Amino acid sequence: MVVDRSSARVLAVLGAIGLCAISFVVTLSGTGSDSAELEALARALLVAAPLGVGLFLWWGPPPLQRFGWLLVLAGVGWWLTTLSGSDEPVLFTIGRLAGWTMEPLVFYLALAYPTGRLDTRGDRALVLASATLFAVLFLPTVLLVETFPAPSPWSTCIDDCPANAFNLLDTEPAWVADVVQPVRELLAAALFIALAVRFAERVRSASSLMRRVRTPVLPVAAVRAGLAGAILLVRLAVPDADTLVQALWWVGVAVSIAFSIAFLVGALRWRLFMGRCLQRLAVLFRAPTSRHELATVLAEAFEDPELELLEPGAAPTPGPGRARTDIHDGDDIVAVVVHDEALCDEQAFIEAAASAALVTLEGRRLAAETTSLLEELRESRGRVMSGADDERQRIQRDLHDGAQQRLLALRVRLELAADHPTDPEALRGFARDIDAAVEEVRSFAYGVYPPLLSSRGLVDALRSAARRCALPARVDGDHVGRYPPEIERAAYFCCLEAMQNASKHASGATEVSVTLADDGQLRLEVRDDGSGFDVATTPPGMGLVNMRDRVASVGGELDLRSRPSDGTSVLIALPTGD
């Protein structure tokens, strides 16, 4: 049968009420005290306090759910101790045994609160010592003694206590009463006093955050431990001080009830504190732009001045009293918060810190992306403007190297034809050259230049240009194919400029040759047979500068070689774009 949560809670509450009722009835029917009703009520409250607080914490939000069920367990244990108020030997014996076994759990609850962990070696040693003491010197004696020492921290009977129901011997060994009982009670009293001192020390040494939640619990725990030790010492030192021991028992019951309620007070104080922290965080948080600013906001909001927000790889191992919380973005750790250990299991803090960190980091990422996009936009605008300038320079070079060179060549031919003004063939050639120049200028208006270069390729365009050259020119490049437009354009205009320079400046030149080859790079050589010149002492002209710029713009190289009386060669190497 499946029981839903609401039904389970109802059953738990009814079970707690039932245990309290049993404790009340057993005590009322078994005690011989003049104040039986008051004692029965006290024992019922001793059970009700841890059960009620434990259920409240168990069903509440983390981080105190663990202490909720531990308190419920403690409530059941305290219920068993109330059976020591019965006059039935078996119930009385169970109650006395439960009293011994409860103490280590009580110590653990006080020392581990609120993280659920024993943080120091000393705390672990105290809990282990208490468990060992009760397991070695108290529990085994239940099989050896006829009666339990009275009065005790768990029962009010003195001379009329029931016998030990679990005794296995006919006669109690004398060494148990003479040696074991004094030694164990002295050790237990010393342990109780050491625990009281430790509880007080933990309050004093706790951080401001941890003190908020520990202060209600640890002082009460210290008083309770001190009372338990006092009862044992009084019983040893003054065996007939029954009234004093019973008075201490009543105080001990009240303190034990207060001990359970202290957990509730600490939890309520912590929840109010966390509510104020989250409220402050909502007021302070304005999407900080850096980890340091976010850490400052979190530290102020949660009153932890030592809080740090670190890169995942830079986070050290937290020191005493400190803890770390990893901030995840999916499966990735994007930040680490080092904070007071009081916050380590606080889900509200973890979620708030994670949300704030992710918002901040995402904001920083978006800001970085925005900056990058703006930088790209500025670079893009720069490239557009630079491209426009380059395009203007290219058109200038194309006009200079193309139509202008053709017109200049036409002028040279006109000057040479001045001696034969009546030659009809020369006049027709002039007409063809003028038509070609007009066609080249017109081609700029359509954005395609030169037409033959784009339609037939580099070799045919250069052969056409060679026919128009003022010097006889030949082009050798039968095995050269097509290339990207920018490569062909650079090669064409560079060769055109080189042929024109040879026509204008190569003294004594009779011809120009253009050779093209492809060996993984497009290689061109424009050579004339003129008189040459000294490259080292002759400054480059604008035509050569234009050629170098054009070749460099496509990732190529240009080399000029010339010697007096040995002609001039322009060597060009261009990437093929493969």
My answer on whether 462 and 443 are in the same domain is: no
Q: Which of 276, 306, 339 is the last residue of a domain?
A: 276
Please report, rounded to a whole number, the percentage of residues in the chain having pLDDT higher than 70. 83
Contact 246, 152 (CB under 8 A): no
Please report, rounded to a whole number, the percentage of residues in the chain having pLDDT higher than 90. 13
Q: What is the pTM of this model?
A: 0.60
Quote the domain boundaries for residue 468. Answer: 457-578
My answer on whether 418 and 506 are in the same domain is: no
My answer on whether 433 and 510 are in the same domain is: no
Which pLDDT band, with edges at 50, 70 and 90, does 187 fall under?
very high
What pLDDT, on the 0 to 100 scale, is given for residue 276?
86
pLDDT tens, 153-181?
777 777 778 888 999 888 888 898 889 88
**Average pLDDT of the residues in 274-294:** 76
389 inside domain: no
64 inside domain: yes
pLDDT at 387 over 60: no
My answer on whether 133 and 96 are in the same domain is: yes
146 inside domain: yes
119 inside domain: yes
My answer on whether 345 and 480 are in the same domain is: no
351 inside domain: yes
Which pLDDT band, with edges at 50, 70 and 90, does 413 fall under?
low
Q: What is the chain's length?
A: 578
My answer on whether 121 and 54 are in the same domain is: yes
26 inside domain: yes
391 inside domain: no
Which pLDDT band, with edges at 50, 70 and 90, does 289 fall under?
low
My answer on whether 441 and 483 are in the same domain is: no
Helices (H), 134-241: 174-175, 181-205, 208-214, 218-237
What pLDDT, on the 0 to 100 scale, is given for residue 446?
40
Q: DSSP string covering 311-379, please?
A: -GGGPPPP-TTEEEEEEEETTEEEEEEEEEGGGTT-HHHHHHHHHHHHHHHHHHHHHHHHHHHHHHHHH
Q: How many domains does the chain contain in total?
A: 4
422 vs 420: CA distance, rounded Å? 6
My answer on whether 142 and 12 are in the same domain is: yes
